[in-house]
Structure 1
Amino acid sequence: MAVADDDTDGLGLRDHSLEQALLGSILTTVPDALIVIDMRGRIVSFSPAAQRMFQYAEGDVLGENISMLMPSPDRERHDGYIDHYLTTGERRIIGIGRLTSARRRDGSTFPIELSVGEVETEGRRLFTGFIRDLTERQQAERRVADLQAELAHAGRVTAMGTLAAALAHELNQPLTAIANYMEAGRDLLEGDGPVDRDMLREAMNESAGQALRAGEIIRSLRESIKRGETMRQSEPLRGLLAEGAALAFIGIDSRGIDMDVSVDPAIDRVFVNRVQLQQVVINLVKNAVEAMQDSPVRILRVTAAPATDVPGKVEVIVADSGPGLDPDMSRTLFTPFSTTKARGLGVGLSISQTIVEGHSGRIWAGPSSWGGTAFHFTLDIAED
């Protein structure tokens, strides 16, 4: 029996060693980072993928608070998140997951997908976090979006050419008629004899009638274009805003920016075209970051709440702590090719306005709480 017991113990040890080796192999090769923390938020395990992702060696972070890997404001709030969960049992992240941002050793931030689990072992409660770096995926999505934008641009150029040809064809006749009637009226006025008022009145009436006809042609074409409705569907608003903001941060220096995305719990889903609305968010967030480039305090807030003036609408606000709007520039803010940027084309806000208005919303700008600029736009709330 003693020999059998010894053999069993030895087999158990070998099985345990095999499990440990297998676990180590998995953690070494899996692309997602694994971080384990205790109830106080202290790091107790830091996988090789996490070391590569965050540029820290395991010895640099063990025993440190997990908040060191977070940008503001999550860094300051994290311990409060844990305390809130331990006190109330309310799950805001655990078992749910979220899109957020993380902070590398050099201070740069990057978008991540975070999944958090919970385990109790030997009377000790631990939290496991699997982290996926979304940079490459979003860069690929961005490249696809850019390609789609180029194709759409080519389509718009073709459509504009067709529209121009249609306008030239349709407007040629009334404009020619107007020119002929006006020339006839001028000849009547310049004649030596008395002015034939009836003929002059007729020429003016015909000119006015042809001008109205030209206006009707333009109005008809504009309505025809408007009927080409944007393909929309129900989308989760918080995910849309968070992903749009994360896309905007790719390739720009986000160090020192206090950024947060906040959506009123009363708002769940909106009726939008996801790609187009994320383009609006990208444009506005990038503008905010560029505006705050030289600001001593860099605060960026993306918020959403039910619109107070129009039922069935949500109001989204992208606010910054930059220098604010130039009064002269504010009058032409959404005019195409109007910009103060040395390398800008001045079409981002114009495109954003076109997209928002295509979604039956409106967009406007005003001062933010920190003296910077706040861009507001409205969207339709998706019906259940």
Structure 2
Amino acid sequence: MSASPKSSNAHSSRLEAVLNTVIDGIITINNRGLIQSFNPSAVRIFGYSPEEVIGQNVKMLMPEPYHSGHDGYLSNYFSTGDKQIIGKGREVEAQRKDGSVFAMELGVNEMDIDGETMFVGTIRDISDRISAEQALKENQAKLQAIVDNTVDGLITIDQGGRIETFNKACETIFGYRANEVIEQNVKILMPNPYHREHDSYLSNYHNTGEKRIIGTGRQVEGRRKNGDIFPLDLSVSEVHVHGRKLYSGIVRDITDRKNAEEEIRQANAELEEFSYRTSHDLRSPLVSSIRLLDIVEESIRVDDKEKALMSSALIQKSLRQLESLVKDILTLTQAKNESEELEEINIESLIVDTLTKLKHMDNFERLNIDLSMKFDSTLWSKKNRMMLIIENLLSNAVKYQDLNKENSFINISTYLDCNNFTLKISDNGLGIPKNQQAQLFQMFKRFHPKTAFGSGLGLYMMKKSVDVLGGEIYFKDNDNGCTFIFTLPVR
């Protein structure tokens, strides 16, 4: 039995009511691409009235390149049967009446009505969603840029201790690329005992809730990719993301700060030592001279000329020692405060001039001095610092020669070694006592006080100058004298 006209009309009315109330735009076109129907949601989406579009080619609703390619697509479909979007849904662009282009989801199906092929397109305006997604992506990009450009390292780990995020600062601090540590246990960044205890600490926290560092900050040690151990500040927070428990750690490499603190500690210790020793060493020759002056005065009164002259000689010696100490103190003060520019230095001339200045020293004439100057490159450095280093090394070799040996020598050589200027000075003098070699460059260390007077500041000042120049100095015990090797990168 066929449906009555009344029931058919009712059915059509219901379908029309549905098409008129759905939020999606619905458009039908014929096999030539001409619009046959345009529901109210399509009117709202595109801004055209039905009268403006019915009978028009649907490509009027499309921007390029869809506009130019649409007729060819239909023709190709009817010729080959090749479906590109029919029966599928995808995101494309459309164009409103005002010319604005927007994103939409399009679903197209083919239908047959009274033997005629028709196409129905379902359209949903997703421009708000795309804008929201774009805004989210932009916010995520901004957040990632902030995280990547922070000075501090940022690491997140899961409950099992596996690394989930590792920002660029962490790459700089630890030396790993992010892809080398993601999914690895975070203890890869820790030396013992932290490496050994980390898993048990996490397990204990999950079981008991006992927090040790979570929510607080403290100083710990990290381990770089190359194995170096370094100090770092660590603060750990617990965060919950989409029902998951994560741990966020902020790390800061405090190597420079620790080094600075150590330098300050050493400087304070040196200042304390300097104050004590200078007050003692300055006072001693003064007290001695005052007492000797009393003896001179008494000797003159009783007409003991010989005793007066002997006491005067002792006073001269004490005052020379005082003068030498004051000179070294002034040199030390100047060296600490001096700001000196780099200049081109003729090393051979500097060494020869220094030897000439040292000829007045006792027993200089008995030394056999051998020069081997093979360094012929340009050396740019701080001349006064270089002079201080060379004068200390050579004057010590002259001053502390072994007078019990018939043949005393000093061998001086310069050469280029692995792009480093190298100065090597060897002698067969008294050397440095083995039990005091660890104190070689300390302030006020005198290794042969009975042989010659010295302030104990010479080697200390020399080492400080070597450090300022960015060089290195090495000592070798020859069992029959000693060797000093000074190296400096060639600039």
TM-score (norm 2): 0.35
Q: Which has the higher contact order (CA 8 A, sep 6+)?
A: 1
TM-score normalized with structure 1 length: 0.44
